[in-house]
A and B are shown apart, each in its own frame.
Chain A
């Protein structure tokens, strides 16, 4: 929490960029005066006016820059082996996300700033971070929704590898512990014959299949924090996805119920809903866990 860097050159590149853009446009207008060009010129003027208005409105609570405070740590680099926060001031534009701000800070100020990211559209699940005290995907979190300075930390309850990167191995192990694969008793005989699944059953599993393995739920879970062997919400949701699929084989169904009802399985959940609250894909995780508890009870009754 000691070193804070505010790169001084922050505002200059922005202004240069803006003026360069403006310089090009009038030249275009003079070169041609087709109806299309005139129309565009008029619209540009209207747009510029709108932008100005928007900026004035927003200037009070968010000036043209935003500040992010980012957790830094690298076990092997002098000066970073003790965790600290670095502060970066980034030029703000409408629609800017936390990921955009991190990328800007990395590319403009410090190329050693390290975080996972790839798709930028909330499907690869790489960039779940602890942002202003809550697990969120950096790519779909708008800066405008957060108070300044925006505090960006790695996911809690996971080992930090470096900066915002945490070790995901434990999460992956838990996901794979529920044997997350389809294993039907038998398949249709006919060539090119598919298994049937009712639209209702497909709907039943729909939300559970949306999991992107980001780990936000696991990180938010108090039980998982205290019991390292607890399967956790994502893995149990994965089990739910197969348990509720009418195409799945019965033998496998039984196996999987055994796995999720063991000591560190569904019964550990205390229905605090923290996982459900942070899930970026709105999966009703707690409900799914509760439903599997009922399945486990039913399954046990069957054997009595």
Chain B
């Protein structure tokens, strides 16, 4: 058994930032990640980090843009906190040696990005995430923070009170990939989940293969509600063959989108008469697919993103990485020809419900970064707002977990925040296949006052049994189940959503859940058994796919990234509320809580969102 004050699960941007913050508060911190930190997917972020740094800009403007971009589903305390903390977060990164792109006077450059009223996106070429990830890992090395790399956290050790609000998190259970051993990690002060996005729920995604939503799935099964899961961002510029991301920075620098007729589609068809290519991502993604559906797509699949007019010097200076990606993964030379692009799954706005200090309703359990929903991005995230989110809320979660004295959070979490019951008409029952879950976190009743060692030891024992069972079962390959889920989600729960498709997805997911009951790991080895890891991940993919689809079916309006064929308008009278889904021991319970629009300096009045 291992023991630390604060245990951070995941070592991408949010995890590293949380670990550094907790360490600065004097905590004994450990990072536990299924990947070595520098392999994390933060490294693939390209565009930049938004922060109101210049005197003519202000945090209030950044907050306003973020709230507008969220289509008024962000919570003001989260949005305000974020915009206020972002400048310092960026300057701190600079002090750690981040190689930002620079102006002639030596200050960090800022470029325009979609949905921003001021050029406030700091960047490091078109590989900002790579530099941010490495800069922070360097600081982790400098501080001597303990890293358990290639240790896969498979479950949380949480007490078993009926009311999730009253549960405590005592630690995590982790599987050492190199040896196949299962160990308990006792967290004296807190566990911070920073496991990243759930992109593997879809089959055309910019996300890494490792992005299987492990954190949200574990938290969900332990009793933390998942919030606003229906809001999935489809990035408008991904390479058609692989889903590799082409940064919004290309459009920020002046890149233009053309349809197959050579028309500048954003203006020609009035999708965004003011901002054109720099409208919010959801707007551009829908515009592209509308063009393709109208027969004006190239090869009936994609549109063209042209940056040739920017000139070789500027491209090499600011977007060189894009040339490599287009060449290596699509065989296109961006200096000579336009690049093919189409929308691809990119980001989950929803996730583990937290407050602005990163805390969940379970005492001692935190979440930060893409796996969390604080809620900052609401119904749609602006480009350049994910990286500062990692910095701001990663650091806040780290500090709070380490016991720093912080302002009490305004955002309410857990079942006590419920304002309204939800109803959704599903063709099949969602949730656990058998009502008595055998592998969920909180399944055994009794001995709720057990000591932490006992709770953790029991969790370890359950994981050992589950793993033995998976290794011994002569079952089907999880990869078949996973690919069915991904295909169904991309076909049915994509940019354009219809009731019948959403229901079809739920039927497919039910079928996949039933088949998952029969999975087995055919590799018998204890050494680096990725078959086992991927099999466990697939269970997480299933839970999250279902949560996304349930939310999408329940929300009968069109807001931000969530478009419904039957409901073509944003309905503020009824839907200014967050969707919450509680696992409820295998019988998912849907409910709502109101959006908070009253901020520190301004109350955000929902307006029509035009770009």
Q: List A residues at the B interface (Cβ < 8 Å).
A: 34-40, 43-44, 47, 74-77, 95, 106-107, 111-112, 114-126, 140, 161-163, 165, 168, 172, 176, 179-184, 187, 192-199, 202, 205-206, 209-210, 212-213, 242, 245, 247-248
Contacts and interface: CB of A to CB of B under 8 A. Distances in A.
Contact of A124 (B43, B296, B526): B43
A77 B97 contact: no
A209 B328 contact: no
Given A43-B300, A184-B95, A206-B99, A122 B328 contact: yes
Interface in B445-494: 477-479, 483
Nearest to B51: A192
Question: Which one of A95, A119, A205 has the greatest number of beta carbons of chain B within 10 Å?
Answer: A119
A120 B130 CA distance: 14
A38 B295 CA distance: 8
Contacts, number: 177
Question: Which one of B53, B329, B331, B527 has the greatest number of beta carbons of chain A within 10 Å?
Answer: B527
Given A114-B528, A119-B39, A202-B101, 4 more contacts: A39-B295, A161-B527, A182-B135, A206-B99
B330 to A, nearest CB: 7
Given A123-B43, A192-B91, A202-B102, A111 B531 contact: yes
Contacts of B209: 117-120
Contact of A121 (B40, B44, B135, B523): B44
B311 interface: no
B527 A74 contact: yes
A12 to B, nearest CB: 15
Interface in B345-399: none
Interface residues of B, number: 74
Interface in B72-115: 87-88, 91, 94-97, 99-108
A164 to B, nearest CB: 10
Question: Which one of A163, A181, A183, A245 has the greatest number of beta carbons of chain B within 10 Å?
Answer: A181
A192 B244 CA distance: 35
A209 B99 contact: yes
Given A182-B138, A206-B99, A118 B525 contact: no
Contacts of A183: 142
Contacts of B124: 209
A134 to B, nearest CB: 16
A76 B525 CA distance: 7
A196 B107 CA distance: 5
Contact of A210 (B104, B106, B127): B127
A198 B527 contact: no
B274 interface: no
Contacts of A126: 35, 39
Contact of A74 (B99, B130, B525): B525
Question: Which one of A47, A95, A182 has the greatest number of beta carbons of chain B within 10 Å?
Answer: A182
Contact of A112 (B210, B325, B329, B522): B522
Contact of A107 (B35, B477, B523): B477
Interface of B: 35-36, 38-41, 43-44, 53, 87-88, 91, 94-97, 99-108, 124-125, 127, 130-131, 134-135, 138-139, 141-142, 178, 208-210, 241-245, 293-296, 299-300, 324-325, 328-331, 477-479, 483, 521-531, 534
24 contacts: A36-B293, A36-B294, A43-B299, A43-B300, A74-B527, A75-B527, A114-B523, A116-B39, A118-B209, A119-B44, A122-B325, A124-B40, A125-B39, A126-B39, A161-B178, A176-B141, A181-B96, A181-B142, A184-B97, A194-B95, A196-B105, A197-B100, A199-B101, A245-B99
Given A124-B39, A140-B329, A209-B131, A77 B95 contact: no
B91 A119 contact: no
Contact of A118 (B39, B87, B105, B478): B39
Contacts of A43: 299-300
Contacts of A47: 299
Contacts of A192: 53, 87-88, 91
B141 A181 contact: yes
A213 B244 CA distance: 20
A208 to B, nearest CB: 9
A27 B483 CA distance: 25
Nearest to B35: A118
A129 to B, nearest CB: 15
B138 A180 contact: yes
B477 A198 contact: no
A258 B381 CA distance: 47
Contacts of B299: 43, 47
A183 B108 CA distance: 19
A162 B525 contact: yes
Contacts of A39: 295
Contacts of B242: 95, 120-121
B70 to A, nearest CB: 26
A119 B141 contact: no
A187 to B, nearest CB: 5
A198 B139 contact: no
A118 B244 CA distance: 12
A75 B178 CA distance: 12
A121 B199 CA distance: 15
B97 A76 contact: no
A114 B530 contact: yes
Contacts of B107: 194, 196
B97 A245 contact: yes
Contacts of A176: 141
Question: Which one of B53, B125, B130 has the greatest number of beta carbons of chain A within 10 Å?
Answer: B130
Contacts of B130: 123, 210, 212
A199 B101 CA distance: 7
B127 A95 contact: no
Given A44-B300, A162-B525, A199 B208 contact: no
Contacts of B325: 121-122
A250 to B, nearest CB: 15
A120 B244 CA distance: 8
B117 to A, nearest CB: 20
A175 B604 CA distance: 49
B178 to A, nearest CB: 7
Contacts of A115: 530
